[in-house]
Structure 1
Amino acid sequence: MPSTEPTVTRPLRRSFVKGLLGSTSFWMVGGHAHWAEALAEESKQSYHPSFFTSDEYRLLESATERLFPQDQHGPGARALGVAEFIDRQMETPYAQGDNWYMSAPFVQGPANLGYQLPFVPRDLYRKGLQGLEAYTRQQHGKSFPDLPVAEQEAILTALEGGSLSLGDVPGRVFFEQLRTNTLEGVFSDPLYGGNKGLGGWLMLGFPGARADFMDWVNQDGAAYPFGPVSISGETA
């Protein structure tokens, strides 16, 4: 499992969007509010999860949206199809732990020994989402997606800080997995289900899988004028 140091989500987002305001790519997403709404509607209508249940998928959409929310800079995780990306990942060898050593004993040791739990990513998600749902219903009387944004963020903050556990799954471990996969879904090639409309790349000013940059190699400081293109040839 990836091991990353979690950071506060909104400052994280601002940190990589901060430099875009004067770039060509930022102004290509003018009217982004309508664009984000259209992406979200398209995603909602066209995808049915294959691994997660409908309730788990709804929770996943809400949690990832809080980690990468829509704001004045562009669309959030829901519009970008992050939950779809994660659902598709659950059917891959990665999520099934095919290249992991998963034999007992499972003893939680010091951090430098890395991940020691008996759960591959798909099991971690299933147990984590079920634990999160049970916690919110017990403590708040509602499912996570039905809570006010402030309460959702407080719960995610508790997970990040390690003060909340989800049954057998440590809250911080689940948070790191969710945060890592959320960012992967935002910025990966749309081939994998996320980054709808190349919205993540537009916010970064990333040109994508263009085959030729030779005309721009020696133009130091010049703004690159073309939008991103995906592996499949989709353009923004």
Structure 2
Amino acid sequence: MKKISGSSLSRRQFLASTAVSILFTSTSGSLARSFSGQLPWSPFAGDPPTPVRPGPWLFFTHDEAQTIEAIVDRIIPADDLSIGGKDAGCAVFIDRQLAGFFGNFERLYMKGPFAKGFPQQGLQSPILPTQRYRAGLAALDDYCRTTFSGRAFSALALPEQDKVLQELENGSIDLDDADTKTFFELVLQNTMEGFFADPIYGGNKDMVSWKMIGFPGARYDYRDFVGNHNQPYPLPPVSIMGRGDWGGKG
């Protein structure tokens, strides 16, 4: 899927234009602490992210994982610019996020009322990401098996997968009780997050997206290059965990 909804943007332009917002928008956060007669923090304490390790799926079932891997690979297909969404770890990123506090919105106010807000306010809904994914993937599987002679989404030919995703995006597919467009927008958003987020969260394998767009990553000092306007940054990107050639040290 090189273009989204007939847009004239190239894939590189599309990904680069979303990178800034994704890099500074994370599904993680910090737990709020209240004052109770003492300081709400202790010196040298922190809340660092736990590195995602290879292993079995934590949220997705086997069938769900096959579907989501196929989806992220069509949203970000492999080409001469980068590896595809599956190999970049986007599905793993989504799985670990759903298994964490993002999946149940543990750190958000969820008491309602849930009136329809403005687009800049984000989704206003009591439906949790875990519920939206589970219902959406099940409904998508039912639709594909009914429409394509018993074949699941992951078993469809690539042009068929693209057609289904385009219909999900424009809302022309009825997925029963699932909100089709909202489901697609959530998957699209989380796929981009997985592609551009720090590799510590399971996606962006080997910092592939950062290398593609020239993002330097979590480097602490740019003073030697701050005056080099309109020049590519010459050093390789650095993850929160460091670089592989540093032995995993930051």
Q: Identify the TM-score tier after normalising by the shorter chain.
A: 0.7 to 0.9
Q: Does 1:161 find its partner at 2:170?
A: yes
Structure-2 change in CA distance of 1:148 and 1:217 (3 Å): same
Equivalent position to 2:68, from 60, 74, 79: 60
* Correspondences of 1:1-236 after superposition (within 5 Å): 7-8=4-5, 11=9, 13-16=11-14, 46-102=54-110, 109=116, 115-140=123-148, 141-235=150-244
- Report if aligned partners of 1:49, 1:87 keep a CA contact under 8 Å in 2: yes
Identity %: 39
**TM-score normalized by structure 1?**
0.78
Structure-2 change in CA distance of 1:145 and 1:95 (3 Å): same
Q: d(CA) in 2 for partners of 1:224 and 1:116? A: 40
Partner SS, residue 219 of structure 1: coil
Q: d(CA) in 2 for partners of 1:225 and 1:128? A: 43
Structure-2 change in CA distance of 1:208 and 1:235 (3 Å): farther
RMSD: 2.6
**TM-score normalized by structure 2?**
0.73
Aligned residue for 1:43? none
Q: How far has the Cα of 1:16 moved from its partner?
A: 4.7
- Report if aligned partners of 2:77, 2:83 keep a CA contact under 8 Å in 1: yes
What amino acid does structure 2 have at the position aligned with 1:219? N
Partner SS, residue 215 of structure 2: coil
The structure having more radius of gyration, on CA atoms, is 2
Q: d(CA) in 2 for partners of 1:94 and 1:190? A: 17
Flag the structure with more relative contact order, 1 or 2, with Cα contacts below 8 A and sequence separation at least 6. 1
Q: d(CA) in 2 for partners of 1:78 and 1:213? A: 32
What amino acid does structure 2 have at the position aligned with 1:15? Q
Structure-2 change in CA distance of 1:213 and 1:151 (3 Å): same
Q: d(CA) in 1 for partners of 2:13 and 2:200? A: 26
> Is there any run of 5+ residues in structure 1 with no aligned partner, and where?
1-5, 20-45
